[in-house]
Structures are given as structure tokens and as C-alpha cells.
Structure 1
């Protein structure tokens, strides 16, 4: 019995339309070993909440990526890093995140924008933005990265979450002035934020200097009062013994008392 040609062609529409009888049917490529491990790691992370096992699975997948073509594993490699970052954060091992992803990509300039963004947000939230300062600066200075569509968002994130909180105002001005990705409005807003941060920095420094000066003055006053107390004690002691001594010894005691006053008087 002959089959209906229209009926037999229906299951093949998803492959790009009707196929001729002489054209082979192209099967979907089988997922790689690293991709299967990525699915397993995500399942361990989200469903089972086994963060340690998820991290170990990501590291096993890394080893398999070395045997696959570089272009075919970029997305898988990035996704493995995202899962690993989340697993480390859940285990309160967030300090290891940056070194962990750099083990995978070797140099900061090769980090995917998404991975770098997660690192900045994580360390900024934990109030340790200085940990990613050099990494993000190296990434932004790389010529290949400057053409990526995510470059402007990362530059703004670096400005707001790293440079300004750290007080790196000169570096912030260089970033805004030297990058062509900012619009004129964004540039003016960024410069205004830098100016505000500089004023706050000056106020903080002047307040610190004033506090230090007051502390020094208080310490000097305390030393002066202590000196007056010591001199009064010496004077009282000298007066008590003055009349009990012969005249010659009284002169000697008075001379010694004058020497003590000269010795302990800072003005002399």
C-alpha cells in the first residue's frame, strides 16, 4: 500500500520544510558530555540543594571541555561558571568565586560579561569591591571587549559599584572621559556623581583632621595639667622643708627648685 506523500512529510516540517526523497534526514546533534553534566549540576543546585555536589559536577565538566572544540563550548562553559558561582555563594564561600572562575578562563580579559557582572554584584554586596578592581579594569581596557554590546553596562557597573565606593575618583574620571560608549547625558550624570563623591571625601578628610587636632590639643592640655600638679607638689615639699634647713641649705634648696621649674617648663 502506498502512503500518502503529504502525510509522510508532516513529521519532517520541523527540519526546514519538505524534504526530497534523495535528501538525508539530519538528526539533531547529541548533547556533549559537558552539556549533560551542566544539566546535572543545575539539577543538584536548584532541585536537590546539594551545593557541594553541584560544584564538583561543574569541575568535572570543565575537564571534559578541554576535549571539545573551543567555539562549541563557550555557552556551556559560561553556564557552568554561573552554576558554580551560585553554589559557592550558597556555601558561604563567596571569597573563592573570583579565583575559581579565573582558573577556568586563565586571564581576566577572557571572562564572559555575564560571569564578570555576577562577580561584581557579589563582591559589591559583600562590601569587598576592591577584590574585583584589577580584574574589571583589565577587562574594560581590552580592545576586543570594548566592541561587545555588554561593555557599557559593565563600565557603568564598575563605576557605581567599585570605583566610587572605593574612592578611586581619578580612575572614575578616566573611565568616563576615555570611553566612547557613554552618551552625553550619561557622561554628565557620571561626572556629577564623581563630583559629589569628591566633596564627600573632602568633608570626611576635614572632619578627620579636626578630630585629630582636638585629640592632640586634649592630650597637650592633659600633659600640661600633669606638669602643673607635679610642680605644685614639688613647691609644697620645698616650702615644708625650707624653714627647717639652715640658711645656706635653704639657698641650695631654692636653687634646686628653680632648676626643676626650668627643667619641666616646656616654654623655657
Structure 2
């Protein structure tokens, strides 16, 4: 979620161009804005940066002077504050924190509205911004501000389309907001995006599996039986090793038990589900064979060598 350099550049762009010369109060606020940016970028102290932004915003709220320069510095503090909240994993409180500074949704600057839409989209909560962005876009005075088109695009692509709100998306594109925000080509491209999303919702899944739950249950049952069979085979195998290789009666019991188990379960060697059973059985039989007859084979080989 790190985009500190972008936030720093945006924050400074709001507070750097101020003519005529700043008053002493605004100079102090501008210096505090630089301090917050340094705390975030250089020291990575996001809590300190957030605290500095809060103090700066509180001081601005108490200032009697109210002009465009105050608004620029205020927006700079908010941009850094949003970034600090995101870095502190307190993104869920970003919109309410911004509204504390601007009181009304339609008064939020376009740049900050864009940041909020992107933030909540990135964390998978686009619905949080739906009401605020709708109110902001339908405010007549906002249609003349720089960044209005970008807010409309982000609202469409990162809020309405992901949420599947087709009717509202179409109204946004062809309605009054779309007339102010989009050119004819952009409106057509936006309509294509909405229709494509709608088609994706209506298309059935590529690999439907209506019996997936039954299949999973069957696989789980087969797995349990395989584990029991393996445990039984290993039990007889250990008995053979402990009793000795000459115990033919125990070997007969072992063979009979395996055959009965296969008959009762009606194990079909040609069925794919049987491959694992047969593989485990074959492995254990090979181990048993080696344990019983390897000593005799080695002794016989040794005597022939002599």
C-alpha cells in the first residue's frame, strides 16, 4: 500500500504555489506540512506524520483567514494523513477522517476523492465509497473542477463495475454526469466495459461440477479406507518380521486377509480409484518379500562364490 513518493509530491504541489507571500500563520503551516512529509518519507514514522497532520488541520480550522492557500495546505495535510492511515493499517477509518476535515462529501477536493476510491478499491471495499462518490459527482459545482472526469472514471471502474451495479453505471455514462465527464468515444468505451462485465456474470462456469460435494465426500471416504488398509498391511508386515521368515502360517493369514479385504471391497484393478490401493499393496509386498528371502538369497550367492 506504499505510495509515499506520490503522496509527498501531491501534498507539496498543494502548498508550494502560494502568491502573494504567505502570512506568518500560513508559513508555519507550510513548515509543518514539510515536517509531516519528512516524518513519513525519511523516518517512516507514520504515527508521528499522522499526529503532525492532525495538529496542522486543527490549527487551520482555528485560523480566521480562509482563502485558496489555506485550502491547498489543508489538502496537503489530508493527502499525507490518508497515506499515514493506510500505512498504519487503519484504512477503514480514512473516509470518516476525511469527512471530519471537510464535513460534507461534496466539499472533498477531487484529488482526495480519487485517493479514497483507489484505496478502498485496493483493500476490496469499494462499496464504502459509493455514496460519497455519488454525492460528489452530482454536485453541480464539482463538474467544473479539475479532476472531475478522473473521479467519474474511477467511480465507474473501481466501484460500480466491481459491485455489479449495471443500471447505475449506465445512468452515470449516458446521464448528466457522463455528459460532463466523457467524450463520445469514452462513453462508448465505458458502455463496452459495462456490457462485458454483465456478460461475464451471465456466462456459466467453464467446468461445472454439480456433484462436487458428493465427489469430495467419496474421495474423503476412500482416503480413510486406504489409510486403514495400509495400517492393517503394515501390522501384518511387522508381525512377519518379529516372528521370523519361516512362519508360513502367519504368511498364509496375511495373504488371506488381503484377499478377503479386496473381495469385500470389490476392488476393481481397472478402475482409476484402485491404482493407489494396488500401488501401496505392491510396495508392502515387495518389502515383505525382501525381509523374508533376502538373507537366504545373500547366503546362497555367497556360497556359490566360494
TM tier relative to shorter chain: 0.5 to 0.7
- In structure 1, the residue matched to 2:202 is 202
TM-score, with structure 1 as normaliser: 0.65
Once residues 41 and 148 of structure 1 are traced to their aligned partners in structure 2, the CA distance between those partners, rounded to angstroms, is 27
Once residues 61 and 153 of structure 1 are traced to their aligned partners in structure 2, the CA distance between those partners, rounded to angstroms, is 28
- In structure 1, the residue matched to 2:70 is 73
Once residues 157 and 167 of structure 2 are traced to their aligned partners in structure 1, the CA distance between those partners, rounded to angstroms, is 14
Q: Which runs of 5+ in 1 are unaligned?
A: 1-25, 219-268
TM-score, with structure 2 as normaliser: 0.57
- In structure 2, the residue matched to 1:47 is 42
Deviation at 1:67, TM superposition (A): 2.8
SS of the aligned residue for 1:144 comes to helix
Deviation at 1:125, TM superposition (A): 1.2
Residue 86 (structure 1) aligned with residue 89 (structure 2): no
Residue 154 (structure 1) aligned with residue 135 (structure 2): no
SS of the aligned residue for 2:62 comes to coil
Once residues 189 and 163 of structure 2 are traced to their aligned partners in structure 1, the CA distance between those partners, rounded to angstroms, is 19
Once residues 43 and 27 of structure 1 are traced to their aligned partners in structure 2, the CA distance between those partners, rounded to angstroms, is 23
- In structure 2, the residue matched to 1:96 is 93
Deviation at 1:157, TM superposition (A): 1.1
User: What is the number of residues matched between the two proteins?
Assistant: 190
Residues 163 and 198 (structure 1), Cα distance of their counterparts in 2 relative to 1, 3 Å cut: same
- In structure 2, the residue matched to 1:123 is 120
Deviation at 1:29, TM superposition (A): 4.2
- In structure 2, the residue matched to 1:112 is 109
Of 121, 143, 164, the match for 2:140: 143
Deviation at 1:34, TM superposition (A): 2.4
Question: Which of structure 1's runs of 4+ aligned residues deviate more than 4 A?
Answer: 26-29
Q: Which runs of 5+ in 2 are unaligned?
A: 1-19, 215-306
- CA RMSD of superposed structures (Å): 2.5
Once residues 21 and 58 of structure 2 are traced to their aligned partners in structure 1, the CA distance between those partners, rounded to angstroms, is 27
Once residues 81 and 71 of structure 2 are traced to their aligned partners in structure 1, the CA distance between those partners, rounded to angstroms, is 15
Deviation at 1:36, TM superposition (A): 2.4
Once residues 104 and 62 of structure 2 are traced to their aligned partners in structure 1, the CA distance between those partners, rounded to angstroms, is 20
